[in-house]
Amino acid sequence: MGVAAVLPGPADFAAWRNAARGLLAAGVRPEDAEWRVAGDAPGLFAEDAPPPAAGAAFHVPRAFVELAEIAIRHSDPERFALLYRVLWRLTHGEHALMQVATDPDVVRLSAMAKAVKRDAHKMHAFLRFRQVETEAGTRHVAWFEPEHHIEEAEAGFFVRRFAGLRWSIVTPRRSVHWDGQALSFGPGGRRAEVPPDDAVEPLWRAYYAAIFNPARLKPGAMRAEMPRKYWRNMPETAEIPRMLAEAPKRVAEMVARGGSAPNPNPQRPRHLAAASRVAADMDLLDASTDPKAALAALARELAGRNDLPDFARRATQAVFGEGPIGAPLFFVGEQPGDEEDIQGRPFVGPAGRLWNRALGDAGVPRDEAYVTNAVKHFKFAPTGKRRLHQSPDAGDIAYYRPFLLREIGIVGPRLLVALGATALRALTGKAMPVMKTRGTIVDGPEGLPVFATVHPSFLLRIPDQDGQQREYAKFVDDLRAARAQVH
Ligand code: URA
Residue at 98 is within a domain? yes
pLDDT score, position 431: 96
- The residue to mutate among 322, 347, 460, having the most atoms of ligand 1 within 8 angstroms of its beta carbon, is 347
Q: What value does the mean pLDDT take over residues 151-155?
A: 96
User: Is the pLDDT at 7 greater than 90, yes or no?
Assistant: yes
Domain membership flag for residue 187 = yes
> Highest mean pLDDT: which of 47-51, 119-123, 234-238, 448-452?
448-452
Same domain, 324 and 444: yes
Whole domain around residue 339: which residue ranges? Answer: 309-484
- Measured from the Cβ of residue 174, the count of other Cβ atoms closer than 10 Å reads 22
Is 35 in the same domain as 102? yes
Q: With a 6 A CB cut-off, is 347 part of the ligand 1 pocket?
A: yes
Q: Which atom of ligand 1 is nearest to the CA of 340?
A: 6
Counted domains in the chain: 4
Q: What is the mean pLDDT of residues 441-460?
A: 93
Give the burial class of 114: count Cβ atoms within 10 A of its Cβ; 0-12 exposed, 13-18 middle, 19 or more buried: middle
The pLDDT assigned to 270 comes to 41
Query: Ligand 1 in contact with 422 (CB < 6 A)?
Result: no
Residue 262 has pLDDT above 50, yes or no: no
The closest of 333, 478, 352, 325 to 392, measured between CA atoms, is: 333
Measured CA angle at 376 (ends 372, 379), to 5 deg: 125
Say yes or no: 143 and 101 in one domain.
no
- Alpha carbon of 453 to ligand 1 centroid (Å): 14
Q: What is the dihedral of CA 34, 37, 40, 46, to 10 degrees?
A: 30
CA dist 95 to 84, 89, 91, 297, Å? 14, 7, 6, 37
> Does 336 contact ligand 1 (Cβ within 6 A)?
yes
Q: Residue 281 domain-assigned?
A: no
**pLDDT tens by residue, 56-115:** 566 899 999 999 999 999 999 999 999 999 999 999 999 999 999 999 999 999 999 999
Distance CA(184)–CA(165), nearest Å, equals 15
Residue 281 has pLDDT above 50, yes or no: no
Q: Which one is predicted more confidently, 245 or 377?
A: 377
Indicate whether 30 and 152 sit together in one domain. Answer: no
Distance CA 306, CA 311 (A): 13
Residue 153's pLDDT band, with cuts at 50, 70 and 90, is very high
Residues of the chain above pLDDT 90, percent: 57
Same domain, 115 and 134: no
At 322, the pLDDT band (50, 70, 90 cuts) reads very high
Do 17 and 40 share a domain, yes or no?
yes
**How many A from CA of 471 to the centre of ligand 1?**
18
Please state the rounded mean pLDDT for residues 352-374: 95
**Segment 126-143 mean pLDDT:** 82
Q: CATH number of the domain at 357, please.
A: 3.40.470.10
Is 422 inside any structural domain? Answer: yes
Kindly indicate the confidence band of residue 419, based on its pLDDT and cuts at 50, 70 and 90: very high
Does the pLDDT of residue 156 top 50, yes or no?
A: yes
Cα distance between residue 366 and residue 389, in whole Å: 28
Answer for the pair 415, 271: CB distance below 8 angstroms, yes or no: no
Distance (Å, whole) CA 452 – CA 417: 6
The predicted structure's pLDDT at residue 56: 57
Nearest atom in ligand 1 to the alpha carbon of residue 350 is 8
Amino acid 266: pLDDT: 39
288: in domain? no
Residue 299 covered by a domain: no
Helix axes 394-411, 291-303, angle to 10 degrees: 160
134 and 116 inside one domain: no
Closest CA to 277 of 123, 458, 412: 412
pLDDT, position 207: 47
Q: Which of 242, 257, 272 is the last residue of a domain?
A: 257
pLDDT given at position 383: 77
Q: What is the number of the ligand 1 atom nearest to the C-alpha of 347?
A: 6
Q: How far is the CA of 456 from the centre of ligand 1 (A)?
A: 9
Buried b (16+ CB within 10 A) or exposed e, 188-216: ebeeeebeeebeebeebbbbbbbbbbbee
Question: What pLDDT does residue 90 have?
Answer: 96
User: What is the pLDDT, as a whole number, of residue 397?
Assistant: 97
Mean pLDDT for the stretch of residues 278-296: 57
Residues sharing a CB contact under 8 Å with residue 276, sequence separation 6 or more, in sequence order: 207, 210, 211, 284, 409
In a shared domain, residues 114 and 132: no
Residues 235 and 323 both lie in one domain: no
Name which of 306, 291, 304, 483 is nearest 406 in CA terms.
291
Q: What is the pLDDT of residues 160-214, one digit of tens each?
A: 878 888 899 999 999 999 998 999 999 998 887 777 655 445 544 554 455 455 5
pTM for this entry:
0.48
Highest mean pLDDT: which range of 208-217, 248-257, 371-380: 371-380
Q: Rounded to an integer, what is the distance from CA 107 to the centroid of its chain?
A: 26
Cβ of residue 346 lying under 6 Å from some atom of ligand 1:
yes
Burial of 367: CB neighbours in 10 Å, binned 0-12, 13-18, 19+ = exposed
> Ligand 1 pocket test: which of 342, 348, 373 has the largest number of ligand atoms within 8 Å of its C-beta?
373
CB of 341 sitting under 6 A from ligand 1: no
Measured distance between the N- and C-terminal CA atoms of the chain, rounded to whole angstroms = 74
Q: Are residues 360 and 416 in the same domain?
A: yes
Residue 12 lies in a domain: yes
Are both 456 and 331 inside the same structural domain?
A: yes
CA trace torsion 14, 20, 24, 27 (10° rounding): 150
Please check the confidence at residue 264 and state whether its pLDDT lies above 50.
no
Q: Residues 322-350: what's their mean pLDDT?
A: 94
Rounded Cα distance between 441 and 424, Å, is 11
219: pLDDT confidence band, cut at 50, 70 and 90? low
> CB of 338 within 8 A of CB of 378?
yes
- Whether pLDDT at 122 is above 50: yes
- Count CA atoms closer than 13 A to 111's CA, side-chain side: 10
Residue among 400, 365, 385 at smallest CA distance from 480 = 365
Residue 198's nearest CA partner among 268, 133, 242, 136 is 133
Judge residue 130's burial from the number of C-beta atoms within 10 Å of its C-beta, 0-12 exposed, 13-18 middle, 19 or more buried: buried
Decide whether any atom of ligand 1 lies within 6 Å of the 349 Cβ.
yes
Cβ of 236 below 6 Å from ligand 1? no
If you average pLDDT over every residue of the chain, what do you get? Answer: 83
Nearest atom, ligand 1, residue 351 CA: 8
Does 335 contact ligand 1 (Cβ within 6 A)?
yes
Are residues 243 and 319 both part of a single domain? no
Of the residues 105, 121, 137, the one at which a domain ends: 121
Q: Is residue 295 part of a domain?
A: no
Q: Is the CB of 333 under 6 A from ligand 1?
A: yes
Torsion angle of C-alpha atoms 71, 76, 79, 82, degrees rounded to 10: -120
> Residue 302 corresponds to which amino acid?
L
DSSP-derived 3-state class of residue 117: helix
For ligand 1, whether the C-beta of 407 sits within 6 Å is no
pLDDT at 276 over 50: no
Contact present, 130 and 142 (Cβ < 8 Å): yes
Residue 351 near ligand 1, beta carbon < 6 Å:
yes
